[in-house]
Amino acid sequence: MVCAYTWPFGLLASLPVTGLRVIGSVLWQQQSGAGMTTQPIPPTTVPTAPSQVLVVDDEPSLVTVYTRALTAAGFVVDKASDGKDAVRQLAQKRYDVIVSDIAMPQLDGIGLLRAVRERDLDVPVILVTGSPSIETALQAVEYGALRYLRKPIEMSELTQVVAQAVRLGQMARLKREAMELVGSQNMQFGDRASLEINFERSLAGLWMAYQPIVRYSEHRTMAYEALLRSSDRSLPHPGAIIDAAQRLGRLNELGRAVRRHVGNTVMKSPIPQVFVNLHPRDLLDDELYSREAPLSRIASKVVLEITERASLDEIRDVQARVARLRELGFRVAVDDIGAGYAGLTSIAQLQPEVMKIDMALVRDIDVDSTKQKLVGAMVGLCREMDVLVIAEGIESRNERDTLVRIGCDLMQGYYFAKPDEPFPEAKF
């Protein structure tokens, strides 16, 4: 089987299509348990109606088999005989997942995928083929197919893939709603010569601050995030330094300096774990995969945070690169959920053990019912997918208490400690 995107589906095989339950964690202990003094709000914002699936194939016998299996699994299934028939149905109804053959008359599966993306950027599309080829696989990736499956398909595999696709689609839509709610910001810089001088000064003054990540129910620090700082103020904040490195084509240089600082510092310390930020382009740096690099020597302690604020599209072999990092002992987090690129790409390609909810969604969450619903739904879906969720940017007791109430136990922010030289103590 050739897959455009993959996910550890085995972790979710026992989960129902609707409803949520906690199934533990990869990185730390289970999110709930002894020491919890508050009762999370049930995740009522996750849809409980049966998920709608559109099956598209010009072979009636296969459509019948797929429909029976998916209906038995609790899905509501509509059928289309080819791509044009599917487009007509899509104009009248919104689906949670589309399962389509590739080789069809009138409009084939790739053409249907293009048509779907013109209408809906988030609905997961699963393409099926009896004649896989590199060309169609690349086209599937280009237009954002979730999976590329080869016939014949076991019905247990199909229902499992569709169930996971439903959840990924829900998360993608929640992320897009979050982006619309909080907006985004862009940085602008002056001429290149000035930028190079200022970047050199910032790089020479580079140091790393650390901020605790806490498990509130146990009142203890579980990890630290390493944060870029510079003693030179030519570029006024970390975002300006990163953007300058990107404009100058020096992201690798900046990334290596950061990882060297963190590796050398944490190697000498007793802290249990450290989160280190990566720009997606850092994944193209061969040094990241060297066993001799300072950060690789402490890989078992490291969670690599890959931001949603930059696209993964230019990196064609993301999954293979992430697999190499996991072989070294690293784990992966998706950062800035709710403030970066909406859609399935980062979740499906990176297969993170951790997701971090951006501070823009946390700010004033205690008085914003929309943010409460969005974050509550995200927390519930992350638990269902066996992914840890951390809320960033907590600045007040009320924000903290609201997050606890909706089931988020792992937190980070000024309320507990400001980033500082290694290693500030959290206050509860």
**List of domains in the chain:** 9-182 (3.40.50.2300), 192-412 (3.20.20.450)
Residues with Cβ within 8 Å of residue 18, at least 6 apart in sequence: 46, 47, 48, 49, 50, 51, 74
pLDDT digits (tens, 9 = 90+) for 66-82: 999 999 999 999 999 99
The pLDDT score that the predictor gives to residue 341 is 52
Average pLDDT, the chain: 83
Going by pLDDT thresholds of 50, 70 and 90, the confidence category of residue 214 is very high
Separation of CA 365 from chain center: 21
Q: Could you tell me what percent of the chain has a pLDDT over 90?
A: 60
> What token pair was written down for 55?
């099956």
| pLDDT for the residue 142 | 67
> Which range, 47-51, 169-173, 308-312, 331-335, is most confident?
331-335
H or E element: which one contains 423? none
Average pLDDT, integer, range 361-375: 94
pLDDT band at 320 (very low <50, low <70, confident <90, very high): very high
- pLDDT value at 7 more than 60: no
More confident residue, 29 or 367: 367
The pLDDT tens digits for 386-415 are 999 999 999 999 999 999 999 999 999 999
Percent of the chain past pLDDT 70, that is, above it, reads 82
Angle at 350 between CA 393 and CA 206, to 5 degrees: 50
Q: What is the mean pLDDT of residues 179-208?
A: 71
Q: Say what the pLDDT of residue 197 is.
A: 80
- 388-392-395-400 Cα dihedral, nearest 10 degrees: -20
Average pLDDT, integer, range 175-200:
65
Q: Give, for 318, the enclosing helix (H) or strand (E).
A: helix 318-328
**Tell me, what's the pLDDT at 185?**
44
pLDDT at 148: 87
Provide the pLDDT for residue 183: 54
Res. 48 pLDDT band, cuts 50 70 90: low
Task: Quote the CA–CA distance of 248 and 392 in Å, as a whole number.
Answer: 29
| pLDDT tens, residue by residue, 223-269 | 999 999 999 988 888 988 998 998 889 999 999 999 999 999 999 99
Question: Which pLDDT score is estimated for 30?
Answer: 32
Question: Mean pLDDT over residues 329-347, rounded?
Answer: 74
Q: Where residue 174 falls among pLDDT bands split at 50, 70, 90?
A: confident
